[in-house]
Amino acid sequence: MRRVWLATALALLLCPVRAADPPADVEFHRDVEYGRVGDESLKLNIALPKGAVGALPAIVVIHGGGWRQGDRAFHDDLTWRFAKLGYVSATIGYRFCPKHLFPAQIEDAKCAVRFLRANAEAYHIDPNRIGAVGFSAGAHLAMLLGTMDPADGCDGSGGLLGQGSKVRAVVSFFGPTDFETPAPEPTAPLFRDLFGGSQEEKKDLCHKASPLTYVSKGDAAMLLFQGTNDPLVPPAHATRMADAMQAAGVRGRVELIVGASHGWGGTELVRTVDAMNAFFEQELKPGKR
């Protein structure tokens, strides 16, 4: 069975050289503990413009890997690029399945957002202007950050429960939105590892894990990129989210990349990254909206 993690491939395309050190005009902190579950430390890497003053918008970056692998450091370069555009940006780690079943992953992502809000002054963050971008499994978590309200739960025990965890803007690169429809054959084992059983056996968790479940008025603006030839996440995931956003009056758009698989490169990658940057500028920069 083919399990090619093209989300990682996209991360490497975004950052073709995994540099050891950030640019001179970027302040960067590695291995910052943002929470703790039992004896497990949850960590992030965070970048901000050197000499930052005032409160800046922030972007959380969430790696892919089927909820079971990946490395936040793959996106260090992306956080540096965001810092050079005037953002604070953090790439986060989270607990993996099958050792940790859902909702551990979103509990950790929400904890990371709470940490950034709790430490907004120290990192020059505007707590009201936080966005998230994710790739594949990370995009799924980013969409949950943009749709889940406090009453929806999944806050976990990582810490800082007095802070909010919802973000204002989300960009999804080929992220799943609906776990209640049958998964493609290559994806079904990933869902089984995430939920501890098949979709049929874990219907409640499938409903709980689906960003579609939570879409409502006032949610984060969203930009979704999705390939029409994706063997892991069918394009219907994106179009269903577009329908739900329209029904709820949520701002945003869905872009279908004709013929693209679970990730893409070349001029299409450049175009979609530029579109991501423009979207975050519109939704997060003061005075833009």
* CATH number of the domain that residue 66 is part of: 3.40.50.1820
Residue 7 — pLDDT band, cuts 50, 70, 90?
Answer: very low
Cα separation, 137 vs 193, whole angstroms: 13
| Domain presence at residue 68 | yes
**What burial letters (b/e) apply to 258-276, b meaning 16+ CB within 10 Å?**
eebbbbbeeeebeebbeeb
| Domain presence at residue 289 | no
pLDDT digits (tens, 9 = 90+) for 123-139: 999 999 999 999 999 99
pLDDT for position 287: 77
**Residues in Cβ contact with 151 at an 8 Å cutoff, skipping those fewer than 6 apart:** none
| Domain presence at residue 267 | yes
pLDDT at 217 over 50: yes
Range of the structural domain that residue 137 is part of? 6-13+20-284
pLDDT digits (tens, 9 = 90+) for 33-76: 999 999 999 999 999 999 999 999 999 999 999 999 999 999 99
Assess contact for 111 and 158: CB atoms under 8 A: yes
What total number of domains does the chain contain?
1
pLDDT at 17 over 70: no
Token code pair at residue 108: 């950790």
Bridge partners for 224 per DSSP: 172, 254
Residue 14 — pLDDT band, cuts 50, 70, 90?
Answer: very low
| Domain presence at residue 1 | no
| Domain presence at residue 88 | yes
